[in-house]
Structure 1
Amino acid sequence: MEPDDVLAALDPEQREVAESLRGPVCVLAGAGTGKTRAITHRIAHAVRSGVVDPQGVLAVTFTTRAAGELRQRLRQLGTPGVQARTFHAAALRQLTYFWPRVIGGDPPRVIESKLPLLIDACRSLRRNQDRSELRDIASEIEWAKVTQIGPEDYVAAAGKAGRTPPVPAEEVVRVYEEYEHLRRDRHLVDFETILELTAAVMTEHREVASQIRQQYRYFVVDEYQDVNPLQKLLLDTWLGGRDDLCVVGDPNQTIYSFTGATTRYLTGFPVEYPNATVIRLVRDYRSTPQVVSLANRVLEPARTPHKLALIAQRPDGPEPVFTEYDDETAEAEGVARAVRKLADAGVPTREIAVLFRVNAQSEAYEQAFGAAGLPYVLRGADRFFERPEVRQAVVLLRGAARSAEPGDTLASTVHHILSGIGLTPQAPGGGKAREKWESLKALGDLAEDMAASGAGLPAFVAELERRAGEQHAPPVEGVTLASLHAAKGLEWDAVFLVGVTEGMLPIVYAETPEQIEEERRLLYVGVTRARAHLSLSWALARSPGGRRSRRPSRFLDGLTGRSASGRSASGRSAQKGRAGTDPSSSTARRPLAAPVGCRVCGRTLAAATEQKLGRCATCPADHDERLLDDLKTWRSGVSKTEKLPQWAVFTDITLQAIAERTPISERDLLAITGIGRVKLDRYGEAVLELCRDAANRTEDA
């Protein structure tokens, strides 16, 4: 293949990327615009033009699967020697190689999860080991480490960043310190420490830095809007002052700032590199004009810098559909009927997805799909090749491959092995058994596909091992149920965005303008996952017969042909509307808050904590200790069920205020600052029941 042949199939903007062979280059690439195609062709063109040796290229991305896709495309373009890895994989390889030479002894062992070490840290501190709470603490430690904040600086940094830790910040510090002590004492590294140590070894040992920089001269970083400060530190250390760097990203898809990721490295690239070439990819090859138009309109009110307005390249398709339901059960059943209709019309179920804001929303759709006989698969749980049944199957298949006879057929052999560990002709009803069956069925389907091309069992096992290394799971025949965060980077023919209500999207604990804008971008990511069919829906109540007090998301204002505060008949669908609304209308509807006075001394309260308690911090107030304990136990259960941080249900201060006032009516509960209609609808009944029980106990006494 000649160098020009590599460029032949590219559009003008993609070709500009490929022909910008020297850095610094910044590619602002919208959803569906072919960014992977552009950067792989750029690398291939650079190699074929003699600008760089393939071994001198390091292409970095964020997931093992994305790195595997880069390597596969580069092999197809005739450049198999290029290194395409995640930040962690590249850093670990370097750290492992140089550790015996510059540190001495065996390299530290990598831990996949912080939880076991956090449990041991809590035992050492003699504190509660609630797993849901520990997961939230792990997230706080990860945020601190990627933003280069040690335990000693956590309290001030968390306060400045506006974070709400799951336990008092001082408690996070104690656990963080003990976690780090145990990690170092046991010669372990987590994913953040891998990056930190690699950068430190390069900084402290010139010969290491020189060897790595001699090896890698040409850098490409994908999903640059998701880079965090620790990854940027390592990247700068790799570069060592050089600027042969190409970064690719989309500011419209910045949805991980809660983990420490920041878009400022992408949007500020021309400032960091004043001579940078900046190229915009806006031709959308994924979605129909109708989907693209809606995606652009979702972002119109946003304050996101460097917004990319997409230009659709596909033929027309169906209009997006907006549907309002009486309750969540009706919504799930309605979506199941719509999915069945698409499947009957020829859309494969693996090309259909139902996307929601939080994982706890999946239960209603699992039940509705199970009742309708629709296959489904949950995304965002264990990685496919790390599931116990898949590991067991691979071990058995590997053993069978070593003793395979020449006459054995691939499909029959694989199905015989899989049937012995749970693959049945009919799918089980649901739950863990259904998930296991779906995994084994996917392996069986892959075997049938490879058997059709004449492959044998050894080739099949080799393919599984290759896919495991790249986290490239075989397609599962079933509707995908996934959170919006888990859906990023994926696409389907048909997408159902469900639960698009105030309090869910934006999520109830998104309070600052920046958090609200990130929620808007999350909706944008969901919309742009659809190639042709797109449906958005919401329910007015949580359960059948419940109070219909929910409102569709403010992000839908002006998109459905009605205001987000409007009402329509149950289950009525509306085609995309053009009616405009004042962008400030949702703000204008909120009344100004009246001053809050202390219920003990009457002084006007200024601090948010005092306003929530309804009293000065120094004023005395009694509360029901048993009620407070009951509220915390209830909150812990809700947190586990809904897979939310405990503070996202109710903060400790809110529970304290409830225990002090013991509200017995919805009006009493709404009087507590910070409890609005959304939380009242979701949690009010349960909280009031606990408060009434407490009041009855008092009367009996």
Structure 2
Amino acid sequence: MSTEELLAALDDDQRAVAENLTGPLCVLAGAGTGKTRAITYRIANGVRSGVYNPQTVLAVTFTARAAGEMRSRLRDLGVGGVQARTFHAAALRQLSYFWPRAVGGSLPRIAEHKASLVAEAAGRLGLGADRTAVRDLAGEVEWAKVSLVDAEHYVAKATRAGREGAAGHDHATIARLLSVYEDVKHERGVIDFEDVLQLLVGILREQESIAAEVRAQYRHFVVDEYQDVSPLQQRLLDLWLGRRREICVVGDVSQTIYSFTGATPDFLTNFPRSYEGAKVVRLVRDYRSTPQVVDLANRVLARAGRHRSSAAVELVAQRPSSVPVRFETYDDDLAEARGVAERIAALRDQGVPLSEIAVLYRTNSQSEALEQALADAGVGYLVRGGERFFSRREVREAIVMLRGAVRSSEGQPMPEAVRDVLASVGWAPKAPSARGAVRERWESLNSLVTLADDLAATRGADMAGLVAELDDRMAAQHAPTVDGVTLASLHAAKGLEWDAVFIVGVSEGLLPISLAEGDDAVAEERRLLYVGITRAREHLQLSFARARQVGGRASRKRSRFLDGIWPDEGAGRSRLSRRAAMRARTESFFEENPADAELFERLRTWRGELAKAISKPAYTVLHDTTLQQIATAKPKDLRQLAVLRGIGATKLEAYGPQVLAVVRGEEVDVQEWLAR
């Protein structure tokens, strides 16, 4: 592509990002607005125009997966040599290189987990921490380190930050733990992940020659997910930059959901003040989600009141109108899990791939009932956070075989060669009927086949190209898509998207979680729900159960975040109030869906004629909310009509053909239909 063709592929706001190549730039990017596209095209434009040397660009993000995706997109744009890494990966690379010169000897070993270190420190203090307590204490250690809080100042700063200690221990005890924790590390000769950043910060501050060398290497910086930056990461970024202003930051304050780990959106919101004259661009066009999903996301945020930041973006949907968002209430958790599994099976039967469906929840303990219900329904699933894809035995064996076939497969189409190789380790063209480990093994191998097909079609890759892609993905833990429903916590879902999303447990005590005390904590829980909603492209269902166990007391209430949004909230009021609420909802529908209003009125006219002919109240035929869903979705056949809320098997058989005729714009003679 020429430079003009490159930029022509962007909308006006994305193009403004891609064309601003120098000076400080702040991109406020809403969910689904194409931020990764905008910043990768910006880098590509800078390289093509000669403003950037690709070797001097460092793009920093928060997950290895996101960094891998960025490198992949840059390769697709013909741009190589740009470094796209996580903060830790970039810092570790520099620290490993400069350590012998700055300190001498080899870099200490990095402890993979804090648990054993924290447990020993707790034991020395006589705290007797169990596994859960060790996890909580480790989290507090991480918060202190990324917040640049040492043991001496912990009590004062933790009190000021509103921290409540951890594992039932007061601030003074945690301060002692921080000190002993450092002793344990020193005695074992190890460092932790936060030390990687802290040690590099120390070297860059104390040794100007090394700092100058780093700044000569990297002249242009891009920081993604800037709302999640911690004080420690910001300190490192400042040292990388020196006094230069060649930085582009991208973030969304409405997706700030990691403040408990030390992340803060303050650096994003204060960026225009920190960098005087900085250009600010807002990305508001949502290309991911349907208007129905976008509307719900905007309404949830709009009710945040004074806790909504002025930097928040109101999304504008770009996709065509589609099916309404579903709201479901169940008797208990088991019924909710079964209901979700049944709905997923229906979507699968309609052609939605299982890999494009996710069930999201607030706490990991909620997954057990869902796993059982999906297994009972014969629906495959994967729990995000389980065994890593590239750690699976069959995947490791397959990659070894593929690497060995690079030369022997020359002259053979790459996808065909991949199938031949993987057949020797258990892959077959047809999925096995067995469930469990056998099916999971096949799914893993089949995802490699799918990846090979994609690379051959999009890049013309050969076997060597496939192996190189797999090596890059292994380093980034960027797994290929596996055909199964994703089960994940709302936190783990950030940065991902699916065609269909189910958010379960949207009740008080779970959303917001009962542990969320104070306005700021509750506001973050609202943002967490917003993140979950904006993961959905088309199908979205929110649900909760009135009771935890079968036959239990129905004491749960739906989340306060859905006040004024959850349908049928007038239940229990006077008939007059219900009618007023119905009128208000109808008026709101007309305002929000003007293109669907005419069809809705025709559906109401048909319903009125039918109700009169069969001597029944109109609402017993089909409720107004159901007619609104039909007017919005415009189903083309009975299968599409059946998935809408309020359309059961009986009503589908009795009224389905007439409804479809009205949707098609045909004149419906009710008496003639009844006479058939």
Distance 2:219 2:256 in 1: 28
Task: Report the secondary structure of 1:374's partner residue.
Answer: coil
Distance 1:490 1:119 in 2: 34
Say if 1:380 and 1:483, in contact at 8 Å, map to a contact too.
Answer: no
Superposition deviation, residue 36 in structure 1: 0.7
Q: Say whether residues 1:113 and 2:113 are aligned partners.
A: yes
Match of 1:266 among 268, 289, 293: 268
Say if 2:302 and 2:308, in contact at 8 Å, map to a contact too.
Answer: no
Residue range with higher mean Cα deviation, 223-232 or 42-51: 42-51
Letter in 2 for 1:80: G
Match of 1:304 among 300, 304, 308: 308
Q: Which residue of 1 aligns with 2:152?
A: 152
> Once the two structures are superposed, what CA deviation does each residue of 1:380-400 show, in whole Å capped at 9, x if it has no partner?
234322456644654576578
Instruction: Say if 1:184 and 1:555 are closer, same or farther in 2 by CA, change over 3 A.
Output: same
Q: Which residue of 2 aligns with 1:333?
A: 338
Q: Say whether residues 1:516 and 2:517 are aligned partners.
A: no
Say if 1:217 and 1:244, in contact at 8 Å, map to a contact too.
Answer: yes
Distance 1:138 1:117 in 2: 9
Superposition deviation, residue 187 in structure 1: 3.2
Distance 1:342 1:566 in 2: 33
1:46-85 → structure 2 map (5 Å cutoff): 46-85=46-85
Distance 2:587 2:512 in 1: 20
Q: Say whether residues 1:365 and 2:370 are aligned partners.
A: yes
Distance 1:221 1:380 in 2: 25
> Once the two structures are superposed, what CA deviation does each residue of 1:564-613 show, in whole Å capped at 9, x if it has no partner?
9979xxxxxx99994999xxxxxxxxxxxxxxxxxxxxxxxxxxxxxxxx
Superposition deviation, residue 304 in structure 1: 1.8
1:155-234 → structure 2 map (5 Å cutoff): 155-164=155-164, 165-169=166-170, 170-234=172-236
Superposition deviation, residue 455 in structure 1: 8.0
Say if 2:228 and 2:258, in contact at 8 Å, map to a contact too.
Answer: yes
Match of 2:432 among 415, 421, 425: 425
Distance 1:411 1:292 in 2: 41
Distance 1:120 1:550 in 2: 41
Instruction: Say if 1:522 and 1:272 are closer, same or farther in 2 by CA, change over 3 A.
Output: same
Superposition deviation, residue 136 in structure 1: 1.0
Letter in 2 for 1:410: V
Q: Which residue of 2 aligns with 1:466?
A: 472
Instruction: Say if 1:38 and 1:459 are closer, same or farther in 2 by CA, change over 3 A.
Output: closer
> Once the two structures are superposed, what CA deviation does each residue of 1:377-422 show, in whole Å capped at 9, x if it has no partner?
11123432245664465457657879999999532432432579xx
Say if 1:352 and 1:495, in contact at 8 Å, map to a contact too.
Answer: yes
- The size of the alignment, in residue pairs, is 568
Superposition deviation, residue 163 in structure 1: 2.0
Match of 2:560 among 539, 554, 562: 554
Percent identity (aligned): 56
Distance 1:281 1:88 in 2: 28
Instruction: Say if 1:3 and 1:184 are closer, same or farther in 2 by CA, change over 3 A.
Output: farther
Letter in 1 for 2:240: W
Match of 1:239 among 241, 244, 254: 241
Give the CA RMSD over aligned residues.
2.9
Distance 2:453 2:259 in 1: 45
Distance 2:224 2:326 in 1: 33
> Once the two structures are superposed, what CA deviation does each residue of 1:347-385 show, in whole Å capped at 9, x if it has no partner?
111111111111110111100000000011111234322
Task: Report the secondary structure of 1:7's partner residue.
Answer: helix
Instruction: Say if 1:365 and 1:214 are closer, same or farther in 2 by CA, change over 3 A.
Output: same
Distance 1:83 1:371 in 2: 46
Letter in 1 for 2:550: P
Unaligned 5+ segments in structure 2 are 574-580, 589-676
Superposition deviation, residue 188 in structure 1: 2.0
Q: Which residue of 2 aligns with 1:250?
A: 252
Q: Which residue of 1 aligns with 2:641?
A: none
1:655-666 → structure 2 map (5 Å cutoff): none
Say if 1:320 and 1:535, in contact at 8 Å, map to a contact too.
Answer: yes
Instruction: Say if 1:41 and 1:273 are closer, same or farther in 2 by CA, change over 3 A.
Output: same
Instruction: Say if 1:255 and 1:38 are closer, same or farther in 2 by CA, change over 3 A.
Output: same
Superposition deviation, residue 178 in structure 1: 2.3
Letter in 2 for 1:192: E
Superposition deviation, residue 100 in structure 1: 0.9
Distance 1:152 1:266 in 2: 29
Instruction: Say if 1:410 and 1:535 are closer, same or farther in 2 by CA, change over 3 A.
Output: same
Say if 2:401 and 2:421, in contact at 8 Å, map to a contact too.
Answer: no
Superposition deviation, residue 215 in structure 1: 1.0
Task: Report the secondary structure of 2:506's partner residue.
Answer: coil
Q: Which residue of 1 aligns with 2:663?
A: none
Instruction: Say if 1:313 and 1:116 are closer, same or farther in 2 by CA, change over 3 A.
Output: same
Superposition deviation, residue 426 in structure 1: 3.8
Say if 1:561 and 1:576, in contact at 8 Å, map to a contact too.
Answer: no
Superposition deviation, residue 474 in structure 1: 1.1
Match of 1:410 among 393, 418, 422: 418
1:383-394 → structure 2 map (5 Å cutoff): 383-387=388-392, 390-391=395-396, 394=399
Q: Which residue of 1 aligns with 2:591?
A: none
Superposition deviation, residue 146 in structure 1: 0.3
Superposition deviation, residue 459 in structure 1: 5.9
Q: Which residue of 2 aligns with 1:592?
A: none
Task: Report the secondary structure of 1:524's partner residue.
Answer: helix
Say if 2:431 and 2:442, in contact at 8 Å, map to a contact too.
Answer: no
Distance 1:455 1:282 in 2: 35
Instruction: Say if 1:41 and 1:129 are closer, same or farther in 2 by CA, change over 3 A.
Output: same
Instruction: Say if 1:401 and 1:135 are closer, same or farther in 2 by CA, change over 3 A.
Output: farther
Q: Say whether residues 1:490 and 2:492 are aligned partners.
A: no
Task: Report the secondary structure of 1:522's partner residue.
Answer: helix
Say if 2:301 and 2:527, in contact at 8 Å, map to a contact too.
Answer: yes
Task: Report the secondary structure of 1:248's partner residue.
Answer: strand
Instruction: Say if 1:385 and 1:106 are closer, same or farther in 2 by CA, change over 3 A.
Output: same
Superposition deviation, residue 128 in structure 1: 2.4
Q: Say whether residues 1:350 and 2:355 are aligned partners.
A: yes
Distance 2:556 2:285 in 1: 37
> Once the two structures are superposed, what CA deviation does each residue of 1:438-486 show, in whole Å capped at 9, x if it has no partner?
2652233313652795988766544432210122101110111111001
Distance 1:566 1:145 in 2: 52
Distance 1:580 1:174 in 2: 61
Distance 2:66 2:277 in 1: 29
Task: Report the secondary structure of 2:425's partner residue.
Answer: helix
Distance 2:343 2:226 in 1: 37
Task: Report the secondary structure of 2:70's partner residue.
Answer: helix
Unaligned 5+ segments in structure 1 are 568-573, 582-701
Residue range with higher mean Cα deviation, 400-409 or 225-234: 400-409
